[in-house]
């Protein structure tokens, strides 16, 4: 008797060679297979007429078998089952199956049939090879018309998977339901068994939807449980109170080359007030691209550092960490702070000693090795002179790792005031002397659940064993750093409240005054050439251009998506042979990425062709045009974020949305980009169109998109939150809910950061 834990390789019906493929897909047990959801459903109810207009498309047709015969190809020991189907349009097609002679027993002449597959033209005959098929009833109903399609890998077809999953479904009855019975009753949710059955073999669209909603709820429920647990842990801690030194801040602000926006003022004030409390701040700085979040972060950092505490700033990627390192060195040029960059792949340690009081020399001689390399890094962008080191990329030698130790010591001793890096900082054994503020620049990459865990990490970052602040520790309470999280792109207020009820909100809904509006235009294929001409003209005027593409290489599934590599090739040879083009994609090594980015910054390229996976948070003020290929494939928020890459300098900037789609829906979506430059407006629209699941990219959580799509209303989040709250109020440690506790544990393992 099989159980959920039975290994697939031990199931007699699954031949070893298939079991091996399943292993490669990370499907080991029966449970794994049952939780491997279809990624889409073919709708047999939407039949198209048989017509040459669908050649090379996948369609479902419905008709009558008019001919049925079996052919044998003796030489190749093969049989071909062949039928002719005619539909009400009067057209007919031929369908063939290889080595499946039994099909003909079901599809005799006069049988109504549905076929789903790719329509091709063989000679003058319309044909389908190996289509999915089913006998059609006399009357057409919607039932049984949704055919699940799974991710197919190396010889495993959806049909095969369906055939394997069907008999195993009964075992799902043994599965314990993570969502407690009362909650299911209250919210009218399917139990796990029904939900799984309907996910794999939906009886109707309505039932499929209910099943998907149930899984979306489950996901959100776990996220909320985790978030709330962490919130209460968080609130049980203490933090060092940092006095608000008005004079210090005023001096700093008046020394800036611009006036702060009112929104920046207000947010800074809210943060500084939080820092004064002996309880840990947990605040989200929610603002549009370019709204000046960095400056607000700088003000908070300044206050903490001046009071003698250490600050950490974490970025999601190394490129961004480095950029922050450069900005903060510049912002604090006139202050006597030591700033360090600490990232993983560099294995590089660098620090910046500012030159106030003329005491830098002493420090440099003390730190000679560290500083030498540091200046090499800094020298690329900032005005730090007297350094002629060309080698900005440090070799990964023991030597450097040793230097890392040196820096770690300096962090521990408190010599370093500000550490900038990737989130690896807090996960590694980096010890601080008196870390009082952690700032996370999210760049929208961390999922909601990931954020919860990240927060958990931050809580232990300042372990009392590692650090001794001596301040603010009250009684038994542990002292943890204040936390400021920054969004990369605005989150609609309603969603932020629903999702992050545990955070205080500061909103930057106002852009700095000096901004020129970016001109956005949808460019259909017909006027593409004009856009290219315009780009050449911009380059001739000295500007630079981004070209963003959806995927890194031609994938079988999405062949129409342009590959960055081939597009780079095409643009270089056919469109802009006279210009200099760079290529950036996620498969490049981290160092090579940096290299390309640097060259673009140094204007060695006119045009940078890049995939979206690569961090575009980078600041290139000279770039005035961004082209987004297949723009309709991106979410609006993401498009808006891309757009924020231009318009950072004094030049009028342009965003071209290339599209090959002319469906109304795609155009309407893109229209929103033409109509508005307001990030909050766009993200609200994005939320309405795609739902919070897509909006937040909960994809990392392991649930298929299809379930997340149904996380389509804030109501569902609110319910999940209320139910989670309800459970935790009587059972904070989930002692009475072991199933939930272990689900959370698994959840944590699954989505744990890197």
Shortest approach of ligand ADP to residue 724 CB, angstroms?
31
CB count within 10 Å of CB 718 equals 17
> H or E element: which one contains 504?
strand 504-508
**Two tokens at 662?**
């002319």
Contacts 24+ apart (CB under 8 A), 691-695: 692/495, 692/498, 692/499, 692/717, 693/216, 694/635, 695/495, 695/635, 695/637
Q: How many angstroms separate the CA atoms of 714 and 717, rounded? A: 5
In this complex, which beta carbon is closest to ligand ADP, that of residue 514 or of residue 526? 514
Q: How many angstroms separate the CA atoms of 375 and 534, rounded? A: 40
Shortest approach of ligand ADP to residue 441 CB, angstroms?
7
Q: Site residues for ligand ADP, window 549-578 (CB under 6 A)?
A: none
Shortest approach of ligand ADP to residue 314 CB, angstroms?
14
* Interface pick for ligand ADP out of 148, 287, 490, 582 (rule CB under 6 A): 287
Q: Site residues for ligand ADP, window 125-164 (CB under 6 A)?
A: none
Shortest approach of ligand ADP to residue 260 CB, angstroms?
5
Angle CA 60–64–65, to nearest 5: 105
Shortest approach of ligand ADP to residue 318 CB, angstroms?
17
Binding mask 247-286 for ligand ADP (x = CB under 6 A): -----------xxxx--x----------------------
In this complex, which beta carbon is closest to ligand ADP, that of residue 259 or of residue 540? 259
* Interface pick for ligand ADP out of 38, 131, 292, 697 (rule CB under 6 A): 292
For residue 360, the number of C-alpha atoms closer than 13 Å in the C-beta half-sphere is 18
**Angle between helices 293-306 and 246-254 in degrees, nearest 10:** 140
Burial environment of residue 479 by CB neighbours within 10 A (0 to 12, 13 to 18, 19 or more): buried
Q: How many angstroms separate the CA atoms of 620 and 351, rounded? A: 24
CB count within 10 Å of CB 633 equals 20
Shortest approach of ligand ADP to residue 39 CB, angstroms?
34
Shortest approach of ligand ADP to residue 506 CB, angstroms?
12
In this complex, which beta carbon is closest to ligand ADP, that of residue 508 or of residue 657? 508
> Which residue do the tokens 């006597």 mark?
336
Distances (CA, A) of 332 to 299, 352, 379, 639: 10, 10, 16, 32
In this complex, which beta carbon is closest to ligand ADP, that of residue 260 or of residue 531? 260
Classify each residue of 33-47 as buried b or exposed e, where b means 16 or more C-beta atoms within 10 Å of its C-beta: bbbbbbeebbebbeb
N- to C-terminal Cα distance for the chain? 37
Distances (CA, A) of 368 to 312, 373, 390: 24, 9, 17
Shortest approach of ligand ADP to residue 376 CB, angstroms?
24
**Two tokens at 511?**
């852009």
Question: Strand, coil or helix: what is 662?
Answer: coil
Q: Site residues for ligand ADP, window 474-533 (CB under 6 A)?
A: 512, 514
Shortest approach of ligand ADP to residue 631 CB, angstroms?
21
Q: Site residues for ligand ADP, window 364-403 (CB under 6 A)?
A: none
In this complex, which beta carbon is closest to ligand ADP, that of residue 417 or of residue 443? 443
In this complex, which beta carbon is closest to ligand ADP, that of residue 550 or of residue 617? 617
Binding mask 698-737 for ligand ADP (x = CB under 6 A): ----------------------------------------
In this complex, which beta carbon is closest to ligand ADP, that of residue 334 or of residue 361? 334
Cα–Cα nearest to 186, from 207, 164, 217, 159? 217
* Interface pick for ligand ADP out of 192, 279, 289, 435 (rule CB under 6 A): 289
DSSP assignment of 89-124, as one string? TS-EEEEEEES-TTHHHHS-TT-EEEEEEE-EEETT
Shortest approach of ligand ADP to residue 469 CB, angstroms?
29
* Binding piece for ligand ADP, criterion CB under 6 A, among 159-167, 293-301, 477-485, 709-717: 293-301
* Binding piece for ligand ADP, criterion CB under 6 A, among 97-105, 290-298, 432-440, 563-571: 290-298
In this complex, which beta carbon is closest to ligand ADP, that of residue 98 or of residue 258? 258
Shortest approach of ligand ADP to residue 689 CB, angstroms?
23
* Interface pick for ligand ADP out of 294, 373, 479, 610 (rule CB under 6 A): 294
For residue 541, the number of C-alpha atoms closer than 13 Å in the C-beta half-sphere is 15
Query: What's the gap between Cα 609 and its chain centre?
Result: 20
* Binding piece for ligand ADP, criterion CB under 6 A, among 245-253, 287-295, 385-393, 518-526: 287-295
Residue 649, interface with ligand ADP (CB under 6 A)? no
Shortest approach of ligand ADP to residue 515 CB, angstroms?
8
Question: Strand, coil or helix: what is 223?
Answer: helix
In this complex, which beta carbon is closest to ligand ADP, that of residue 291 or of residue 506? 291
Shortest approach of ligand ADP to residue 649 CB, angstroms?
9
* β pairing state of 607-611 and 581-584: parallel
In this complex, which beta carbon is closest to ligand ADP, that of residue 290 or of residue 704? 290
In this complex, which beta carbon is closest to ligand ADP, that of residue 144 or of residue 512? 512
Cα–Cα nearest to 552, from 590, 585, 591, 581? 585
Q: How many angstroms separate the CA atoms of 18 and 9, rounded? A: 8
Contact status, residue 623 vs residue 546, Cβ threshold 8 Å: yes
* Binding piece for ligand ADP, criterion CB under 6 A, among 38-46, 288-296, 302-310, 343-351: 288-296
Distances (CA, A) of 591 to 348, 360, 395, 494, 545: 12, 30, 11, 40, 22
Shortest approach of ligand ADP to residue 438 CB, angstroms?
17
In this complex, which beta carbon is closest to ligand ADP, that of residue 648 or of residue 669? 648
Shortest approach of ligand ADP to residue 130 CB, angstroms?
51
Cα–Cα nearest to 287, from 577, 652, 730, 683? 683
In this complex, which beta carbon is closest to ligand ADP, that of residue 148 or of residue 287? 287
In this complex, which beta carbon is closest to ligand ADP, that of residue 287 or of residue 704? 287
Residue 647, interface with ligand ADP (CB under 6 A)? no
* Binding piece for ligand ADP, criterion CB under 6 A, among 154-162, 215-223, 292-300, 608-616: 292-300
Residue 666, interface with ligand ADP (CB under 6 A)? no
In this complex, which beta carbon is closest to ligand ADP, that of residue 79 or of residue 291? 291
Contacts with ligand ADP by CB under 6 A: the residue count is 15
Order of strands, sheet of 282-287, starting from the edge strand that comes earlier in the sequence: 349-353, 338-342, 418-422, 310-315, 435-441, 482-486, 282-287, 504-508
Query: What's the gap between Cα 268 and its chain centre?
Result: 28
CB count within 10 Å of CB 192 equals 21
* Interface pick for ligand ADP out of 210, 231, 293, 352 (rule CB under 6 A): 293
Shortest approach of ligand ADP to residue 296 CB, angstroms?
8
Residue 291, interface with ligand ADP (CB under 6 A)? yes
Cα–Cα nearest to 150, from 35, 7, 58, 56? 35
DSSP, res 549: E
Torsion angles phi and psi, residue 337, rounded to 5 = -115, 150
In this complex, which beta carbon is closest to ligand ADP, that of residue 514 or of residue 559? 514
* Interface pick for ligand ADP out of 295, 374, 571, 628 (rule CB under 6 A): 295
In this complex, which beta carbon is closest to ligand ADP, that of residue 633 or of residue 640? 640
In the complex, which residues of this chain contact ligand ADP (CB under 6 A)?
Answer: 258-261, 264, 287, 289-295, 512, 514
């Amino acid at each position: 008797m099989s159980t959920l834990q039975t290994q697939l390789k031990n199931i007699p019906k699954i031949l070893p060679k298939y079991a091996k493929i399943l292993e490669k897909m990370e499907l080991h047990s029966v449970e794994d297979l049952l939780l491997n959801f279809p990624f889409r459903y073919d709708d047999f109810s939407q039949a198209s007429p048989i017509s040459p207009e669908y050649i090379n498309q996948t369609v479902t047709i419905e008709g009558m078998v008019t001919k049925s015969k079996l052919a044998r190809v003796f030489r190749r020991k093969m049989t071909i089952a062949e039928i002719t189907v005619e539909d009400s349009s009067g057209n007919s097609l031929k369908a063939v199956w290889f080595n499946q002679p039994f099909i003909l027993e079901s599809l005799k002449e006069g049988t109504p049939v549905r076929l789903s597959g790719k329509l091709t033209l063989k000679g003058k005959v319309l044909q389908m090879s190996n289509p999915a098929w089913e006998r059609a009833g006399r009357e057409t109903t919607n039932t049984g018309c949704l055919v699940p399609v799974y991710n197919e890998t190396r010889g495993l077809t959806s049909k095969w998977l369906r055939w394997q999953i069907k008999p195993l479904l009964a075992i799902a009855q043994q599965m314990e339901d993570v969502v407690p019975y009362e909650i299911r009753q209250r919210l009218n949710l399917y139990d796990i068994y029904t939900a799984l059955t309907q996910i794999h073999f939906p009886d109707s669209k309505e039932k499929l939807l209910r099943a998907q909603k149930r899984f979306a709820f489950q996901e959100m429920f776990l996220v909320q449980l985790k978030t709330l647990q962490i919130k209460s842990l968080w609130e049980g801690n203490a933090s060092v109170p940092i006095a608000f030194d008005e004079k210090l801040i005023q001096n700093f602000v008046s020394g800036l080359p611009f006036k702060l926006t009112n929104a920046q003022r207000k947010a800074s004030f809210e943060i500084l007030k939080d820092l004064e409390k002996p309880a840990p701040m947990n605040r989200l700085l929610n603002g549009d691209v370019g709204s000046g979040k960095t400056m607000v972060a700088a003000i908070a950092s300044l206050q903490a550092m001046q009071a003698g505490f250490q600050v950490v700033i974490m970025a999601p990627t190394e490129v961004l960490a480095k950029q922050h390192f450069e900005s903060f060195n510049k912002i604090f040029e006139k202050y006597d702070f030591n700033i360090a960059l600490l990232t993983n792949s560099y294995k590089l340690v660098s620090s910046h000693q500012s030159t106030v009081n003329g005491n830098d020399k002493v420090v440099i001689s003390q730190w000679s090795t560290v500083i030498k390399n540091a200046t090499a890094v800094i020298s690329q962008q900032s005005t730090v002179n007297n350094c002629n080191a060309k080698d900005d990329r440090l070799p990964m030698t023991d030597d450097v790792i040793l230097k890392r130790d040196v820096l770690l010591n300096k962090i521990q001793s408190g010599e370093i005031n500000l550490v900038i890096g990737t989130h690896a900082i807090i996960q590694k054994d980096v010890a601080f002397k008196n870390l009082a503020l952690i700032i996370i620049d999210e760049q929208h990459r961390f999922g909601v659940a990931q954020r919860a865990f990240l927060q958990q990490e931050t809580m232990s970052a300042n372990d009392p064993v590692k650090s001794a602040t001596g301040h603010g520790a009250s009684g038994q309470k542990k002292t943890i750093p204040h936390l400021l999280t920054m969004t990369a792109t605005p989150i609609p207020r309603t969603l932020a409240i629903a999702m992050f009820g545990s955070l205080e909100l500061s909103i930057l809904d106002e852009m700095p005054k000096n901004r020129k509006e970016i001109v956005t235009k949808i460019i259909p294929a017909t006027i593409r050439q004009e856009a290219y001409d315009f780009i050449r003209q911009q380059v001739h005027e000295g500007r630079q251009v981004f070209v963003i593409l959806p995927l890194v290489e031609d994938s079988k599934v999405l062949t129409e998506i342009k590959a960055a590599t081939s597009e780079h090739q095409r643009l270089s040879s056919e469109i802009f042979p006279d210009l200099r083009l760079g290529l950036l994609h996620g498969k490049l090594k981290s160092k090579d990425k940096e290299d390309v980015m640097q060259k673009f910054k140094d204007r060695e390229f006119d045009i940078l062709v890049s995939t979206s996976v690569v961090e575009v948070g980078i600041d290139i003020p000279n770039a005035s045009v961004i082209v987004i290929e297949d723009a309709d494939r991106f979410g609006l928020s993401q498009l808006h974020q891309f757009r924020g890459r231009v318009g950072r300098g004094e030049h009028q900037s342009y965003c071209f949305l290339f599209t090959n789609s002319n469906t109304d829906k795609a155009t309407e979506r893109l229209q929103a980009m033409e109509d508005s430059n307001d990030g909050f407006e766009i993200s609200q629209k994005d939320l309405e169109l795609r739902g919070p699941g897509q909006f937040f990219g909960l994809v990392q959580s392991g649930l298929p998109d299809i379930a997340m799509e149904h996380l389509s209303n804030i109501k569902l989040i609110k319910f999940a939150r209320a139910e989670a709250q309800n459970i935790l109020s009587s059972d904070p440690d989930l002692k009475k809910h072991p199933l939930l506790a272990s689900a959370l544990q698994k959840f944590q393992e699954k989505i744990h950061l890197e």
